[in-house]
Amino acid sequence: MTEPEARRASQPDEPPPFLRTWRRVYLAVIGWLAILILAFYLFARRFAP
């Protein structure tokens, strides 16, 4: 077993408590960012002078 593999084995990658995989959690975070930017843009445009 190589050193990195041994270290990985000592601290395994636990699944997230929701959405089952970390990949889905990351995609959800990026989706949230997109929603926020869109919402802020619409908000700014709605009340622009």
Binding site for other proteins (CB under 8 A): 3-4, 7-8, 10-11, 13-17, 22, 25-26, 29-30, 32-33, 36-37, 40-41, 43-44, 46-49
| Minimum CB distance to other proteins, residue 11 (Å) | 5
What tokens were used for 38? 């869109």
Q: Which amino acid is at 13?
A: D
Shorter beta-carbon distance to other proteins: residue 1 or 46: 46
Single-letter amino acid, residue 27: L
Least spacing, CB of residue 1 vs other proteins, in Å = 13
Indicate the DSSP class of residue 25: H
Encoded tokens for 19: 């959405």
